[in-house]
Amino acid sequence: MSDKKNSFVTMQGVGHKFDPNPDAPMVVEGIDLDIYRHQFVAVVGPSGCGKSTLLRMVAGLLIPCAGEVSVFNKQVTEPRDDVGIVFQKANLLPWLNVRKNVLFPLKHKYGFYSSNDEERANELLEMAGLTQFADKMPDELSGGMQQRVGIVRALLLNPDILLMDEPFSALDALTREQIGFDLLDIWKKNPKTVLFITHSISEAVLLSDRILVMSKRPGTVLDLIDVDLPRPRSSKTINSPRFAELTDLIRGYIYEPNVPA
Asked if residue 24 belongs to a domain, the reply is no
Asked if residue 1 belongs to a domain, the reply is no
Looking at the DSSP assignment, which residues form a beta bridge with residue 193? 161
Taking the mean position of all CA atoms in its chain, how far away is CA 122?
23
Mean predicted confidence (pLDDT) in 58-70: 95
Tell me: the pLDDT tens digits for 44-55? 999 999 999 999
Tell me: the pLDDT tens digits for 176-187? 888 899 999 989
Under the banding of pLDDT at 50, 70 and 90, the label for residue 1 is very low
Q: Residue 214 above 90 pLDDT?
A: yes
Asked if residue 89 belongs to a domain, the reply is yes
Asked if residue 243 belongs to a domain, the reply is yes
CATH code where residue 103 lies: 3.40.50.300
Under the banding of pLDDT at 50, 70 and 90, the label for residue 257 is low
Q: Considering the chain, what percentage of its residues have pLDDT values greater than 70?
A: 96
Tell me if the pTM is above 0.95: no
Question: Residue 190 sits in which domain range?
Answer: 37-52+77-210+222-254
Asked if residue 215 belongs to a domain, the reply is no
Q: What is the domain count for the chain?
A: 1
Asked if residue 11 belongs to a domain, the reply is no
Asked if residue 217 belongs to a domain, the reply is no
Asked if residue 3 belongs to a domain, the reply is no
Mean predicted confidence (pLDDT) in 82-103: 92
